[in-house]
Amino acid sequence: NAGVTQTPKFRILKIGQSMTLQCTQDMNHNYMYWYRQDPGMGLKLIYYSVGAGITDKGEVPNGYNVSRSTTEDFPLRLELAAPSQTSVYFCASSAGQGKNIQYFGAGTRLSVL
Amino acid sequence: DQQVKQNSPSLSVQEGRISILNCDYTNSMFDYFLWYKKYPAEGPTFLISISSIKDKNEDGRFTVFLNKSAKHLSLHIVPSQPGDSAVYFCAASGDNDMRFGAGTRLTVKP
């Protein structure tokens, strides 16, 4: 069972470059999430989606964009990478919102230099 | 604002002994609490949860205790095993969102 798959696992970007972090899930979950984890901090929600075509901002959305054209895919776009975006990014999905277990991908470690 | 706090960044215990990981929250609207476990280079995986209508939930070696008046929960692992060495995240949720603590790194020594 693949679950939630994230690509790439690692990436180094130069300041000002752009990239897309890919996330796909095969559990037919409506809800999908993007988090970032900085050292010594908890997971911070960047964006989430409650279904195809519907996205909304989380706690720390600045500098990021998302789209949800299918149930399976929820890519995260960084348009102008900044050193403050150096972090580990996790994608997750769940069957419902709030009191539902979230299933996480293995993460993407991004460095912006 | 950190609505979920895990004040111990790390914990080391001997194999076979009890591990106790603690978590505090500030938002009284949270009514469902979860613990996730994370190994290096992997994403967090669900371990155990508890609803606010309970004060204890047990699953094998893992027990979560909830003290609503103190806004505190704890995860007990008995007996601890070397394979339990990981980072443990506490999470709290209401109807619409889930907030995570910073994690506690547990090391179980053989």
Q: Quick: pLDDT tens for B28-57.
A: 999 999 999 999 989 999 999 999 999 999
Q: Using a CB-CB distance cutoff of 8 angstroms, which residues of chain A are in contact with residue B103?
A: 42
| pLDDT bucket at A1, cuts 50 / 70 / 90 | low
CA gap B85, B99 in Å, rounded: 23
Q: Is A28 left (phi over 0), alpha (psi -120 to 50) or beta?
A: left
Calpha distance A33→A94 (Å, rounded): 9
Contact B31/A at CB under 8 A: yes
In 10 A of CB B17, how many CB atoms? 13
Check B97 against A105: CB less than 8 A apart.
Answer: no
pLDDT band at B2 (very low <50, low <70, confident <90, very high): confident
The pLDDT value recorded for residue A97 is: 79
CB of B75 within 8 Å of a chain A CB? The answer is: no
CA distance A5 to B40: 16
Give the whole-number percent of chain A exceeding pLDDT 70. 99
Question: Does B100 contact A104 at a Cβ distance shorter than 8 Å?
Answer: no
Question: Higher model confidence: residue B31 or residue A41?
Answer: B31
